[in-house]
Amino acid sequence: MTTDESRTGVWAIVPAAGRGTRFGGAHPKQYAQVAGSPLIRHTLEALLSNPGVRGAVVVLAADDPLWPGWDEIAGKALLRCTGGESRADSVLAGLLALPDEVRADDFVLVHDAARPNLRQDDLTALIERGRNDPVGAILAAPVRDTLKRAGNDGGIDRTEPRERLWRALTPQLFRRLQLTRALEAASEAGIAVTDEAMAMERQGMRPLLVEGDEDNFKITTASDLARFEFALSRRQEEIRA
């Protein structure tokens, strides 16, 4: 990494304190083995191999016995801290654990531990475009399917227009202090935000949508894991070819 990149790169927070109950299995999904490494290793490598990212904080459960103890990946610092009961609590813990070099107005990435299939060009575009926006930005994918509104009896009430609808992905990029205040405000109001952008929206802010590839999917089931294994094997075959 060049001196300029070290000064301008962003830090990432990876909340990994969840249990992943929908995934099943003996261990949380972030520790499922893929190609000889835990899933979370693939996610961290996708983040830290990008020249625009200079380090990461992994937020773990208090009683996590499975963390391998990495303190560096791709030559970049990897810190860890203990998370909370909710995603917002864990992200707040990660924001507090950032090194002193990260200033209040510096941008910070938040990325799901279970999204290992992140494309480098999408991450680069998010960082470049998000840092030029007054609020920040998220990766997202336009909704392409037909959406139905269900009634209480399970029947279709109506078809919802999909124009201007997007599926939120991660990473999401915001300034450290603004994100901290937004998450704290949501917590104080008793609002369970499902992503960081939702907390920012509650503060009247309008994050930028940066289109990302739909292959940046979140692994929640065993079939999702198989899908990632296939994508990874194809990528490795292309490299060998």
Domain ranges of the chain: 3-143+164-240
> 111 with 43: CB under 8 angstroms?
yes
Q: Which residues contact 80 (CB under 8 A, 6 or more apart)?
A: 57, 58, 59, 60, 67, 97
Q: If you average pLDDT over residues 2-26, what whole number do you get?
A: 70
The confidence score (pLDDT) of residue 25 equals: 64
Specify the CATH class of 3-143+164-240 in words. alpha beta
DSSP code of residue 42: H
pLDDT at site 81: 98
Q: At residue 218, does pLDDT exceed 80? A: yes
* Cβ count near 171 (within 10 Å): 30
pLDDT for 1 equals 34
> pLDDT higher for 213 or 1?
213
Q: What is the pLDDT of residue 20?
A: 58
Note the pLDDT tens digit of each residue in 81-140. 999 999 999 999 999 999 999 999 999 999 999 999 999 999 999 999 999 999 999 999
> What Cα–Cα distance (Å) separates residue 57 from each residue in 16, 112, 134?
10, 12, 24
**Better-scored residue on pLDDT, 24 or 204:** 204
Contact 234, 226 (CB under 8 A): no
Q: Would you say residue 79 has pLDDT above 50?
A: yes
pTM: 0.92
Report whether pLDDT(4) > 50: no
Percentage, residues of the chain above pLDDT 90 = 88
- Gyration radius of the chain over CA positions: 18
pLDDT in tens, 50-68: 999 999 999 999 989 999 9
Instruction: Supply the mean pLDDT for the chain.
Output: 93
pLDDT given for residue 241 in this prediction = 66
Give the residue, 147 or 239, on which the prediction is more confident.
Answer: 147
DSSP 30: G
Predicted local confidence at residue 6, as pLDDT? 42
pLDDT of residue 22: 57
pLDDT reported for residue 235: 80
